[in-house]
Amino acid sequence: MRYSISLARGAFAAVIVATMAATAYAQTGRVVGIVKDETSQPIKGATLSLENPDASPRNFTATSDDHGRFAVIGLKAGEWSLVAQAPGFVAEVARLQVRATTPSTPALTLRRAPQAPVSALGSVGVKDLQADLRAADQQFSAQQWDQAIASYRSILARAPALSVVNLQVGAAYRNKKDYDNAIAAYNDLLKADPNSDKARVGVGETYMEKGDLAAAANALNPSTAGASKEVLFTLGEIEAARGNTDAAVQWYQKASADDPNWGKPLLKLGLTSLKKGDKTDAAARLQRVMAVDPTSAEAVQARTALEQLK
């Protein structure tokens, strides 16, 4: 299995709550969001720059209004990089998956690195940073794991505030089946951001791959209030690996309730119903997967499973 992560990079001292929705025509979508500081106050005049080398036009720019809100329309469906900048704050680089099918509503909570000054990016400019990240991502996509790790670590050495890049480092190590170093990379991020659910999920999933299900469950700490949908889903995966189907279903249901348009838990619930012989429930859930995200890998699996019901 190959691991790839779409991640929000950096230590931009703000909270960007981005809501992505798609139009039903011309394969275009829009990004609508709000920029806030760490005290939840809106940031006026923040600059939002979006880039997708495969799109035409490939660049869009927006500025947040008095309430910190911004909107960009006419985006080609696909992955876009977003750079958010504001005077007095450290620039943030994020990845957004824009869809032209059903709306997607991610919430990105980005926190200030401890004592991170405005110069936290050092001598690395925003354009240089984008180019370096793009080059590292190309190595990752080409499965050049060692080269990608070296490139990501070079970025971290020059811009320590971008600790979230450790998510990609961890993913590369997992693709190499170097689980201990993957866990170490995720823990490096957790040192900078103890509330990073993405890092916690990474640790949990890596322990699962090592075959240590107890450590995987402990890493996710299910008693934590306000767990993200990714944590809830991964807890379901752990219970499924343990053979506790009913417990797994409960976690999948919680994850699905958190985001009814997320295909992953819907697919798991549909496949579980299929195994139990409840074809009616299975068909309903599998059809839902195809409706909410028809271009996803989960939709392909749902379509295959539905064929078995005919």
What pLDDT is attached to residue 65?
83
Cross-strand pairs, 104? 20
User: Rounded to whole angstroms, how far apart are CA atoms 20 and 17?
Assistant: 10
What pLDDT is attached to residue 5?
47
Range of the domain at 255: 207-309
User: pLDDT (tens digit, 9 = 90+) per residue, 18-43?
Assistant: 443 333 334 567 777 777 776 667 78
CB count, 10 Å around CB of 72? 20
Shared-domain flag, residues 156 and 250: no
User: Would residue 77 count as lying in a domain?
Assistant: yes
What pLDDT is attached to residue 89?
65
What pLDDT is attached to residue 198?
85
Torsion of CA 202, 208, 212, 216, to 10 degrees: 40
Shared-domain flag, residues 28 and 77: yes
Which residues neighbour 170 within 8 Å (Cβ) at sequence distance 6 or greater? Answer: 182, 183, 185, 186, 189, 199, 202, 206
Report which residue type is found at 181. Answer: N
User: Would residue 244 count as lying in a domain?
Assistant: yes
User: Would residue 185 count as lying in a domain?
Assistant: no
Shared-domain flag, residues 211 and 150: no
What pLDDT is attached to residue 285?
92
The rounded average pLDDT for each run of 10 residues, N- to C-terminus, in the chain (310 residues) is: 46 42 48 74 78 78 81 80 71 70 41 41 62 85 92 88 88 95 94 85 94 92 69 93 94 90 91 92 92 81 86
What pLDDT is attached to residue 246?
94
Shared-domain flag, residues 166 and 39: yes
User: Rounded to whole angstroms, how far apart are CA atoms 149 and 157?
Assistant: 12
Instruction: Tally the domains of the chain.
Output: 2
User: pLDDT (tens digit, 9 = 90+) per residue, 253-284?
Assistant: 999 998 888 889 999 999 999 999 999 999 99
What pLDDT is attached to residue 88?
66
Shared-domain flag, residues 132 and 249: no
Which residues neighbour 155 within 8 Å (Cβ) at sequence distance 6 or greater? Answer: 124, 129, 132, 133, 136, 162, 165
Shared-domain flag, residues 166 and 98: yes
CATH number for position 49: 2.60.40.10
User: Would residue 198 count as lying in a domain?
Assistant: no
Which residues neighbour 239 within 8 Å (Cβ) at sequence distance 6 or greater? Answer: 245, 247, 248, 251
What pLDDT is attached to residue 125?
62
What pLDDT is attached to residue 223?
53
